[in-house]
């Protein structure tokens, strides 16, 4: 034994500890490796793809390579030179033959409304490559827009390889013809409002879930096992039916001719049906219902671990029930409150089926817009940018939570 | 059997006819009449499930008696909520608040009473110094050893000078050495602060060393309440005799009773004279109780006719340092034990035929087991 001790003695203790720890860490890593691989392909890669898409600017460089090259030297003041016009004409003709002109037209139309018409009609009318030196006059002759500086700055700003256009647009900003960041025109500046609405609904639903879920979780954690199991089944019941069915059930219940209005009218409480759905009220109602279990479960699991002995101890030490609750019980449930709120909030701000079905036009959340841009207009750039902004704000919140949770962390203490 | 029933002016708590059932079918506490005197150290001792914790919980206000009444002073406390009872409680698993530091834990009972901040600080410091943990004031309970946590729990229960301190197996989770240390500490606090303590344990050694009086519980009934020495020397029934200390049992039938002395015919033959303590009249069955250190081993007939004498065969001698344990086979009890003082067993060898001899006053005739 002494020999073994001496044999390692020349290696510093710290290093030996590190070596021993490393083996343990490798083993731990081995255990989570399959999950990490899975997450890499199903989460990290798509996420990275999404973030890349929000900055990727491939359309114009690919469709109009000569114009992009010719505009490299242009300083953005006045109109570009004759060579640029010639390059544009050549690009338009090539693209039209290849059938890719619409791709560039769509991208440029984001920047200037009507660009698509300009480009496509130029393509149609440009029968042959203009003779050298006449490209400028020919193009302006076909479409006067080519005589405007903005048409050219649009191409230059979209000439890749990356752009801040989508990300700026996602927060209602844009670049003017001089490249400075300015507020987007009012008809396009909608996303800030949508983000604010999304977070307002998120906070509201989280608060409602907490208020409704806390007493239920407390009851669950403190009832005798048999009855708490029964109650737990009721809590989990919503998970047994699909989200769509549950949301549609709310429509049946809350609509003008629905159960609630029908009963109230029958009872004579109201004369006109109340507007309970296709507005913010319906959104809060349906989303709170759907998300309540996500609040109750983490709260329950934390409360389960809080021994009733603490409340008894507090009472025996002279604390009235309210004081004991506020000073002893509540602080110990904070990890559960934090986890539940984070979970509900993050799920809530990602919801779009429920608001789409039971909300009005002014209740649509950011996900509806993301879905709209991916499935309806196929504007991946803007959809990704909105997603990235949502992700970023969620991350910030999670970090704040992490900071708070870590600050409160205790090393446990005996549970009994 | 001294004055558990005598109502003196210094009675702090009184249980009268208290019963408790949880399920409405059987009584966990059957009929409890108990006086707790001011300044005494009373221990509730009994096997698991005998209703000790239930009794304590009724006193602390966490359980309601099904029947009967509990008084603190002259006041019935049926409708008094726990936080108004002014009872300090130490729980088996300490129940220190995990999210508060040691200092905040000990300050808790003072701050909920609205004691001014400066005074709280002072008293907490004094309490932590008393348990010698002043240097750990800013740690959390999870960072303390079991013994340290127990001391904090003690300080927290004492810091607000409660009229009464309840402790439910406070040392159950500690190892033997620490337990003995803490026993002394609790005893010291009891004496220096003049506390009234109700202490629950199922460790009889702990009960005997610490208590002024012990209430022996079994099956929801207080079997006997008395001073430790009286409990050991003069058990009133077989349960107490067997529960406290070592006990030899001899079964038989009462032949006659005369002036407190009973002649008992043993089932295995022979008859002895014993103190009649807890028996019916002649013809009733009885169990005789004999403490191992009150019995002598004789190799021949000493001729002392005032002693009871029974034949036996020595089967084993177990050396235990300060004494030697002799195990004997008598017709009435095949595992009869005798404690011999160190050095007094010279000449005895296992297998030898001997006599066990004991005085009638050391042999108590109790209810049959
Ligand atoms: N909350 C309860 N509900 C139902 N029965 C209970 C409850 N608490 C205790 N009991 C029952 O009451 C009886 C007495 O319990 P109690 O806790 O008073 O025993 P104890 O003497 O403290 O035992 P131990 O030494 O094991 O702590 C037991 O049979 C127990 O099962
Ligand atoms: Mg108990």
- Is any ligand 1 atom within 6 A of the Cβ of residue B51? yes
> In this complex, do B95 and A309 lie within 8 Å of one another by their Cβ atoms?
yes
For domain B11-233, the CATH class is alpha beta
> In this complex, do A312 and B87 lie within 8 Å of one another by their Cβ atoms?
no
B88 touches B166 (CB < 8 A): yes
Res A410 pLDDT > 60: no
Nearest CA in chain A to B86: A318
Percent of chain B with pLDDT over 70: 98
State residue A77's pLDDT score.
Answer: 86
Res A158 pLDDT > 50: yes
Answer with the residue of higher pLDDT: B82 or A238: B82
CA B115 to chain centre: 37
Q: How many CB atoms lie within 10 A of CB A91?
A: 23
Shortest-distance atom of ligand 1 to CA B217: 21
The lowest-confidence range among A59-63, A112-116, A204-208, B174-178 is: B174-178
Q: What are the φ/ψ torsions at residue B72 (nearest 5 degrees)? A: -110, 120
State residue A2's pLDDT score.
Answer: 46
**A304 to chain B, minimum CA–CA distance in Å?**
15
The closest residue, in CA terms, to atom 5 on ligand 1 is B22
State residue B9's pLDDT score.
Answer: 56
- Per-residue pLDDT tens digits for B219-258: 889 999 999 999 999 999 999 999 999 999 999 999 999 9
Rounded Cα–Cα distance for residues A218 and A220 (Å)? 5
Instruction: Give the torsion sign (CA, A136, A137, A138, A140).
Output: positive
- Is any ligand 1 atom within 6 A of the Cβ of residue B52? yes
pLDDT confidence of A4, banded at 50, 70, 90? very low
- Is any ligand 1 atom within 6 A of the Cβ of residue B218? no
State residue A8's pLDDT score.
Answer: 55
Shortest-distance atom of ligand 1 to CA B29: 14
Among all bound ligands, the one having the nearest atom to the CA of B48 is 1
Res B296 pLDDT > 60: yes
pLDDT confidence of B280, banded at 50, 70, 90? confident
Nearest to A293 by CA among A356, A233, A373: A233
The closest residue, in CA terms, to atom 22 on ligand 1 is B53
- Is any ligand 1 atom within 6 A of the Cβ of residue B50? yes
Rounded Cα–Cα distance for residues A37 and B122 (Å)? 58
Contacts of A412 in chain B (CB under 8 A): 98, 142
Q: How many CB atoms lie within 10 A of CB A296?
A: 28
> In this complex, do B82 and A331 lie within 8 Å of one another by their Cβ atoms?
no
CATH superfamily of A191-407: MetI-like (1.10.3720.10)
Q: What are the φ/ψ torsions at residue B126 (nearest 5 degrees)? A: -60, -40
Res A278 pLDDT > 50: yes
> In this complex, do A416 and B141 lie within 8 Å of one another by their Cβ atoms?
no
Q: How many CB atoms lie within 10 A of CB B28?
A: 19
What order of strands is seen across the sheet that includes strand B308-319?
B296-298, B353-358, B308-319, B323-330, B333-341
State residue B130's pLDDT score.
Answer: 83
Estimate the share of chain B in helix, then strand, then coil, as percent rounded to the nearest 5.
25, 35, 40
State residue B334's pLDDT score.
Answer: 92
Angle B36-B40-B46 from CA coordinates, rounded to 5°: 65
Shortest-distance atom of ligand 1 to CA B53: 22
Coil, strand or helix: which one is B97?
Answer: coil
State which of B54, B62, B91 you would mutate to test the pocket of ligand 1, scoring each by most atoms of that ligand within 8 A of its C-beta.
B54
Expressed in angstroms and rounded, the spacing between residue B48 Cα and the centre of ligand 1 is 8
CATH number at B246-366? 2.40.50.140
- Is any ligand 1 atom within 6 A of the Cβ of residue B48? yes
pLDDT confidence of B80, banded at 50, 70, 90? very high
Domain residue ranges of chain B, discontinuous segments joined by +: 11-233, 246-366
A160 by Cβ neighbours in 10 Å (0-12 / 13-18 / 19+) ranks as: middle
- Give chain A's mean pLDDT: 88
């Amino acid at each position: 034994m002494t020999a073994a001790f001496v044999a390692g003695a020349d290696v510093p203790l710290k290093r030996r500890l590190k070596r021993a720890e490393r083996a343990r860490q490798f083993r731990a890593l081995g255990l989570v490796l399959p999950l990490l691989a899975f997450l890499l392909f199903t989460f990290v890669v798509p996420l990275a793809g999404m973030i890349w898409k929000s900055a990727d600017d491939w359309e114009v460089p690919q469709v109009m390579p000569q114009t992009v090259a010719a505009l490299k030297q242009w300083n953005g003041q006045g109109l570009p030179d004759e060579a640029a016009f010639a390059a544009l004409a050549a690009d338009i003709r090539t693209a039209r033959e290849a059938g890719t002109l619409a791709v560039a037209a769509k991208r440029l139309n984001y920047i200037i409304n009507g660009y698509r018409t300009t480009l496509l009609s130029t393509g149609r009318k440009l029968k042959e490559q203009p003779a050298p030196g006449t490209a400028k006059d020919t193009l302006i002759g076909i479409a006067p827009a080519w005589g405007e500086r903005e048409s050219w700055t649009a191409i230059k700003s979209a000439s890749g390889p990356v752009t801040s256009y989508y990300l700026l647009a996602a927060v209602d900003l844009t670049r003017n013809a001089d490249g400075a960041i300015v507020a987007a025109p009012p008809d396009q500046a909608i996303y800030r409002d949508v983000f604010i609405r999304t977070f307002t609904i998120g906070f509201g639903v989280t608060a409602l879930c907490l208020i409704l879920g806390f007493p239920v979780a407390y009851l669950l954690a403190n009832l005798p096992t048999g009855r708490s199991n029964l109650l737990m089944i009721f809590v989990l019941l919503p998970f047994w039916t699909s989200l769509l069915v549950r949301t549609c059930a709310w429509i049946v219940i809350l609509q003008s001719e629905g159960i609630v209005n029908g009963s109230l009218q029958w009872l004579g409480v109201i004369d006109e049906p109340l507007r309970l759905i296709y507005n913010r009220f319906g959104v809060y109602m349906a989303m709170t219902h759907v998300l309540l279990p996500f609040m109750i479960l983490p709260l329950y699991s934390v409360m389960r671990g809080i021994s009733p002995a603490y409340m008894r101890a507090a009472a025996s030490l002279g604390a009235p029930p309210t004081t004991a609750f506020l000073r002893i019980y509540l602080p110990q449930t904070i990890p559960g409150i934090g986890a539940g709120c984070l979970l509900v909030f993050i799920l809530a701000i990602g919801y779009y089926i429920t608001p789409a079905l039971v909300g009005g036009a002014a209740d649509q959340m950011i996900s509806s817009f993301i879905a709209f841009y991916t499935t309806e207009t196929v504007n991946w750039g803007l959809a990704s940018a909105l997603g990235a902004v949502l992700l970023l704000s969620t991350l910030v919140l999670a970090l704040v939570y992490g900071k708070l949770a870590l600050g409160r962390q205790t090393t446990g203490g005996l549970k009994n | 059997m001294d004055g558990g029933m005598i109502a003196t002016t210094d009675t702090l708590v009184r249980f009268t006819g208290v019963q408790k059932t949880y399920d409405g079918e059987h009584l966990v506490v059957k009929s409890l009449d108990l006086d707790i005197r001011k300044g005494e150290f009373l221990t509730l001792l009994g096997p698991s499930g005998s209703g000790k914790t239930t009794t304590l919980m009724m006193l602390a206000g966490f359980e309601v008696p099904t029947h009967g009444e509990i008084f603190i002073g002259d006041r019935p406390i049926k409708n008094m909520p726990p936080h108004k009872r002014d009872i300090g409680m130490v729980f088996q698993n300490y129940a220190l608040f995990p999210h508060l530091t040691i200092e905040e834990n000990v300050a808790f009972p003072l701050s909920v009473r609205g004691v001014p901040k400066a005074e709280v600080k002072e008293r907490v410091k004094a309490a932590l110094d008393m348990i010698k943990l002043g240097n750990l004031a800013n740690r959390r309970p999870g960072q303390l050893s079991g013994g340290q946590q127990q001391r904090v729990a003690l300080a927290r229960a004492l810091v607000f000078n409660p009229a009464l301190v309840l402790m439910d197996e406070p040392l159950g989770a500690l190892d033997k050495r620490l337990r003995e240390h803490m026993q002394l500490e609790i005893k010291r606090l009891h004496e220096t602060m003049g506390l009234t303590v109700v202490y629950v344990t199922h460790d009889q050694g702990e009960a005997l060393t610490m208590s002024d009086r012990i209430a022996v519980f079994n099956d929801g009934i207080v079997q006997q309440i008395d001073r430790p020495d009286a409990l050991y020397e003069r058990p009133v029934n077989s349960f107490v005799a067997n529960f406290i200390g070592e006990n030899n049992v001899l079964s038989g039938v009462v032949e006659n009773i005369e002036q407190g002395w009973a002649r008992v015919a043993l089932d295995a033959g022979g008859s002895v004279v014993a103190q009649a303590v807890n028996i019916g009249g002649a013809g009733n069955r009885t169990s005789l109780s004999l403490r191992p250190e009150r019995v002598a081993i004789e190799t021949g007939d000493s001729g002392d006719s005032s002693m009871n004498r029974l034949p036996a065969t020595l089967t084993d001698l177990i050396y235990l340092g300060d004494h030697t344990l002799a195990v004997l086979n008598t017709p009435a009890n095949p595992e009869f034990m005798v404690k011999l003082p160190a050095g007094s067993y010279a000449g005895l060898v296992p297998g030898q035929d001997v006599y066990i001899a004991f005085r009638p006053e050391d042999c108590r005739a109790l209810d049959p087991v």
